[in-house]
Amino acid sequence: MSMTIRQIGPCFAGEVEGVDLTQPLPPAEIGAIHAGMDEFAVLIFRRQGLDDEQQLAFTKSLGELEHAIGTSLRAPEDYRLPTTFADVSNLDKENKPLARADRRRLFAIGNRLWHSDSSFKPTPAKYSILNARSIPSKGGNTEFADMRAAYDALDDETKREIEGLICEHSQIYSRERTGFKDFTDEERERFEPVRQVLVRTHPVTGRKSLYLASHAGTIVGWPLPEANIFLQDLTEHATQRQFVHVHEWRVGDLVIWDNRQTMHRARPFPAEEPRDMRRTTLAGDGPTV
């Protein structure tokens, strides 16, 4: 059977069938996946059941890897996975769920706010590839929002207003929204803000998208409260149901999203249950500013 993609979201998000990602893919299928990403921005591969090695091999077949170093509150000796993976689980090194009040967990659940991966890095991420190795008994969906459709739906005056605006992104900003504020001096230095444009243009399709994230905490040249309220308004607009697709995980599902064209967020689940999600990430082409 050859590879097919069927749109399952309101304006984006395709489910892919007829491909086995545990095996090396021929160039034509790699090309079809990139073309599918350009069009649908999120691709869902049900029940692929990849192990770490297969996930890494598949990721590398799509492009250059972004490493996950120093982006969480885990100390390097505390990593459960190699830095080729972003550990999106709620597990410690012994594979036990982190205690509810553990600051590593309280930092990590910041991904329940709408965001785009690594927008806090000078060169932000291209694709994220998330593999469900174990899932909780309930909750824990991941939601995606189409930032191209959200951009298109803005009125012309707003489109003019946001063209050329530059935001500053940091994990400090996203976490402070949740009330998490007890960063060490070392962490404040490590999470220093970076600049990103607010409107991005896709290099292949030429479509514009809103480049928003909970990490965006200021607009350069704007008074802070006004910037925050404006970004909040845009985020509310961009995450209306008509722009959102909800993924309900099954073990072995693999989902790829384009961070340049979408936002996503995790949804809550019982804290005492393991949720082992492993992300590989493709590096972006360069800074957006």
- Interface residue with ligand OGA, options 25, 42, 43, 88 (CB under 6 A): 88
Check binding of 235 to ligand OGA (CB under 6 A): no
When CB distances to Mn ion are compared, the closest residue is: 117
- Counting contacts by CB under 6 A, is residue 171 touching ligand OGA? no
The angle at the Cα of 287, spanning 284 to 289, to the nearest 5 degrees, equals: 140
Q: Beta 65-66 vs 254-258: how paired, if at all? A: unpaired
Reference 238, options 156, 112, 168, 144; nearest CA is: 144
Question: Per rule CB under 6 A, is residue 264 in the interface with ligand OGA?
Answer: yes
How far is 202 from 86, CA to CA, in rounded Å? 25
Beta carbon nearer to ligand OGA, 111 or 154: 111
According to CB under 6 A, which one of 13, 277, 282, 288 is a site residue for ligand OGA? 277
# residues near Mn ion by CB under 5 A: 2
Q: Is 117 in the site for Mn ion (CB under 5 A)?
A: yes
Asked if 239 interacts with ligand OGA (CB under 6 A), we say no
Classify burial at 44, counting beta carbons within 10 Å of its beta carbon; exposed 0-12, middle 13-18, buried 19 or more: buried
Minimum CB separation of residue 130 from ligand OGA in Å reads 5
Closer residue to Mn ion (CB): 71 or 288:
71
279 in contact with ligand OGA (CB under 6 A): yes
**Residue from 5, 13, 130, 172 in contact with ligand OGA (CB under 6 A):** 130
Selection from 124, 202, 192, 166 nearest residue 289 by Cα: 166
Q: Six-digit token pair at 146?
A: 């189409």
Q: Quick check: 146 binds Mn ion (CB under 5 A)?
A: no
Q: Which residue has the tokens 């350069």?
A: 220
Beta carbon of residue 147, minimum distance to ligand OGA (angstroms, whole number): 15
Amino acid found at 232? Q
Among 117, 146, 258, 276, which residue sits at the site for ligand OGA (rule: CB under 6 A)? Answer: 117
Place of tokens 């994220």: 128
List, in order, residues 6 or more apart from 9 with CB less than 8 Å away: 40, 42, 144, 146, 244, 245
Longest dimension (CA), the chain: 56
Q: Which residues bind ligand OGA (CB under 6 A)?
A: 88, 111, 117, 128, 130, 142, 264, 266, 277, 279
Q: Which residues bind Mn ion (CB under 5 A)?
A: 111, 117
